[in-house]
Structure formats: structure tokens, C-alpha cells
């Protein structure tokens, strides 16, 4: 396998620099490598995962060699887009080697400082990236892109991948979307299914975000407050998921110019309809103490997050399945 990959990349050097810019050309290379992997697996009677791993390592080696020839700076074009060929191969074969998948993610981040080409397609759909950033998603549709996002989230969590300022893979900002985290984008768009997935994997709700005035919960509360007792289901669902992973919110902190005498006055002045309509539960906004069960869930999730065990580590806890679902924010 290694010899065949070396021969391929020797010929690949003669290709134009933008030869992998178009999606159909990257897909053609993926199909070629998939055929090569299948042929080597059958011809050498080797394990599927081992052969796929060798192919990905060869691609990573080519990228690293190309960068070394340019004083350690990625030349982008085909030299970088080949990493997205490797990304698609990893997903197609469901590569289980976390170390290799993490190395691929590290190479992408080292050149781009973002993972937007993986997250944007899952959040907006596969057509949106072309208009937002000028490239097309390497996955067939939004559903496949979402499954791919979960696949790489799982590997990045298991590998405890962290990048600049110790930001985890799931919280790396998306450059073409105002440098917001994937979770904040999903909340602003009102995408409860994506919000739920990201929160299960430990996306931070209170991520330090000095470039944007409103926090995630503050923004969605203000948006819901604009409706007159008729609230969009998707926004309500996003708020409910967010409230499952935080012990409580302090609504008095939202009003930076007034000091309220009591929590009740502060909440009722800012969000009276939300409280009256039970959209904002009294035990999650300081009017009543949070349930002990909820506080325990937040404490357990915090420890699992610290050990990079969300959500898979929940299933290893010696507790009933109903409590596992509760901790995994599948139930409330």
C-alpha cells in the first residue's frame, strides 16, 4: 500500500495546483483511493482498518513533506485539499484509529485555524458553504455531513484534542461566521437537533466570547421575549436543552445598567411573559432553588467533561439506564 501511494503522489506532483479545488475532483480521488484500499486489502489479505490507516498516513506524510519544502508553510491548493480527501476516506471506512484521525484534524487546524469545512455543512446544509466560504462540502447531503461531524467529534473527544488557548475541537470558532462557536451558531439559527448533539458532546455554553455582546442564553431569552405568548418551537427547544447543562442562570447579570433589589424584580422586569408562560422555569433563573437531581447532573457532567468522557463515559457509570439518559440530557 505504501509503495502504491508513493507512486501516486509522484505523479500527483505534475497536476495543477488547483486540481482539487472542485468537489467532483476530490470525490474522484476519494473513489480512486477507496478502490486502491479495497484492492490492497483483498490482494494482501490484510485487515481493512490497517489498510485504511496506511492510506491516511501516506496522505499526511505527503502534506507534511510539501509543507517542509516550503519552509514549514502550507502551500494550500492541492497540497492542502488532499487532507479533505483523507477526511472523506476516514468517514467512508469509519476508521477507528483515533490517533490517526486526531493527527489529520491537527494538520487541518495547523493550516486553517478552523474546522469550518466540517461544521458549516452540518449546520447550514451542503449548499451553504459555497456561498459562505466559496467551497463545496465533501459530503453528499446535510444528513451525511451531520453524521460525519459526530464521527469526528467522537474521535476528537477520545483524543482530548485541544488547540490554541486550550479550546477543544467542538468549540473552535468558525472564521466565516463571525468567529462564533458551532454551538452559538446553532442556537442563533434555532436548530435544536444540532444544539442537542453539540451539548451532549460537551460544547461549552459559557465559552469566553469577548467579540459578541450577548451570551448564548441571554441572546435566546431576548429573542423569545419579543414574541407575544406565541413562541417558536425550535427556539423553545434550544433554550430547554441549554438549561439542562447549566445549574442556573442569573438574569440580574443581563441588565448591566440597573441593580435590582431582588431576583424576582429583576426577572419579572426583563422576562415577565417567559416566566408566566413557564418558558423560563422559576428553578432555573434564581426565583427558586434548582432541583438537587439537576445539580447532581451538572456536577457529574462537569467531571466527565474534564476527563473527555462526554457522552460515551456516561454509559460506563454504575447507575440505572434512566439516570444515564438523564445525565446524557436525553430526558429531563
pLDDT exceeds 50 at position 70 = yes
pLDDT band for 127, please (50, 70, 90 cuts).
confident
pLDDT exceeds 70 at position 182 = yes
pLDDT band for 207, please (50, 70, 90 cuts).
low
Q: Please tell me the predicted confidence (pLDDT) of residue 208.
A: 56
Nearest to 254 by CA among 299, 302, 219: 219
Which of 37-46, 262-271, 302-311 bottoms out in mean pLDDT, i.e. has the lowest? Answer: 262-271
pLDDT band for 268, please (50, 70, 90 cuts).
confident
Over residues 26-42, the mean pLDDT reads 95
Residue identified by cell 490517533 is: 99
* Largest pairwise CA distance in the chain: 77
Over residues 19-37, the mean pLDDT reads 95
* Cis geometry, peptide bond prior to residue 278 (ω within 30 degrees of 0): no
Q: Please tell me the predicted confidence (pLDDT) of residue 211.
A: 47
For residue 155 the three cell numbers come to 474521535
Are 105 and 156 in contact by the 8 Å Cβ rule? The answer is: yes
d(CA 68, CA 107) in angstroms, rounded, equals: 13
Percentage of the chain lying above the pLDDT 70 cut: 92
Q: Is 174 helix (H, G, I), strand (E, B) or coil?
A: strand
Q: How far is CA 72 from CA 66, 76, 110, 202, in A?
A: 8, 12, 11, 33
295: number of CA atoms within 13 Å, CB side? 6
Over residues 162-189, the mean pLDDT reads 93
pTM score of the predicted model: 0.92
pLDDT exceeds 80 at position 258 = no
Q: Please tell me the predicted confidence (pLDDT) of residue 213.
A: 47
d(CA 60, CA 85) in angstroms, rounded, equals: 11
Percentage of the chain lying above the pLDDT 90 cut: 77
For residue 222 the three cell numbers come to 431576548
pLDDT exceeds 90 at position 79 = yes
Q: Please tell me the predicted confidence (pLDDT) of residue 218.
A: 87
Which of 34-48, 235-249, 252-266 bottoms out in mean pLDDT, i.e. has the lowest? Answer: 252-266
Whole-number average pLDDT of the chain: 91
For residue 131, how many other CB atoms are within 10 A of its CB?
Answer: 8
Q: Please tell me the predicted confidence (pLDDT) of residue 137.
A: 87
Over residues 290-303, the mean pLDDT reads 97
pLDDT band for 210, please (50, 70, 90 cuts).
very low
Greater model confidence, 96 or 285: 96
Over residues 132-141, the mean pLDDT reads 82
Over residues 301-320, the mean pLDDT reads 97
Over residues 308-332, the mean pLDDT reads 96
d(CA 165, CA 112) in angstroms, rounded, equals: 16
Q: Please tell me the predicted confidence (pLDDT) of residue 135.
A: 80
Q: Is 251 helix (H, G, I), strand (E, B) or coil?
A: helix
Domain ranges of the chain: 2-179, 216-327
Over residues 58-87, the mean pLDDT reads 96
End-to-end CA distance of the chain: 50
For residue 303, how many other CB atoms are within 10 A of its CB?
Answer: 11
Over residues 158-170, the mean pLDDT reads 95
Over residues 227-244, the mean pLDDT reads 95
pLDDT exceeds 90 at position 132 = no
Q: Please tell me the predicted confidence (pLDDT) of residue 212.
A: 45
Are 145 and 115 in contact by the 8 Å Cβ rule? The answer is: no
Amino acid at each position: 500500500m505504501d509503495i502504491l501511494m508513493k507512486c501516486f503522489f509522484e505523479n500527483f506532483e505534475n497536476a495543477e495546483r488547483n486540481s482539487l479545488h472542485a468537489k467532483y475532483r476530490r470525490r474522484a480521488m476519494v473513489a480512486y483511493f477507496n478502490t486502491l484500499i479495497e484492492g490492497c486489502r483483498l490482494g494482501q489479505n490484510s485487515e481493512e482498518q490497517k489498510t485504511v490507516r496506511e492510506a491516511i498516513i501516506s496522505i499526511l506524510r505527503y502534506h507534511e513533506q510539501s509543507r517542509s519544502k516550503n519552509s514549514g508553510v502550507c502551500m494550500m491548493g492541492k497540497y492542502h485539499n488532499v487532507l479533505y480527501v483523507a477526511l472523506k476516506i476516514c468517514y467512508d471506512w469509519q476508521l477507528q484509529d483515533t490517533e490517526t484521525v486526531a493527527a489529520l484534524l491537527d494538520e487541518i487546524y495547523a493550516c486553517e485555524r478552523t474546522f469550518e469545512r466540517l461544521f458549516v455543512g452540518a449546520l447550514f446544509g451542503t449548499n451553504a458553504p459555497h456561498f459562505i466560504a466559496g467551497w463545496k462540502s465533501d459530503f453528499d447531503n446535510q444528513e451525511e455531513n451531520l453524521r460525519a461531524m459526530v464521527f469526528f467529534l467522537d474521535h476528537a473527544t477520545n483524543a482530548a484534542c485541544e488547540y490554541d488557548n486550550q479550546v477543544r475541537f467542538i468549540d473552535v470558532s468558525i472564521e466565516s461566521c463571525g468567529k462564533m462557536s458551532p454551538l452559538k451558531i446553532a442556537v442563533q439559527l434555532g436548530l435544536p437537533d444540532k444544539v442537542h448533539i453539540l451539548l451532549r458532546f460537551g460544547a461549552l455554553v459559557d465559552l469566553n466570547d469577548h467579540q459578541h455582546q450577548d451570551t448564548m442564553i441571554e441572546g435566546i431569552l431576548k429573542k423569545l421575549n419579543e414574541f407575544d405568548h406565541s413562541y417558536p418551537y425550535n427556539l423553545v427547544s434550544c433554550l430547554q436543552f441549554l438549561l439542562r447543562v447549566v445549574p442556573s442562570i442569573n438574569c440580574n447579570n443581563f441588565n448591566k445598567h440597573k441593580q435590582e433589589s431582588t431576583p424576582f424584580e429583576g426577572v419579572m422586569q426583563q422576562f415577565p411573559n417567559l416566566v408566566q408562560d413557564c418558558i423560563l422555569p422559576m428553578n432555573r433563573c434564581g426565583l427558586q432553588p434548582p432541583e438537587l437531581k439537576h445539580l447532581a447532573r451538572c456536577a457529574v457532567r462537569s467531571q466527565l467533561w474534564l476527563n473527555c468522557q462526554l457522552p460515551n463515559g456516561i454509559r460506563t457509570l454504575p447507575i440505572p439506564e434512566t439516570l444515564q439518559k438523564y445525565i446524557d440530557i436525553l430526558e429531563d
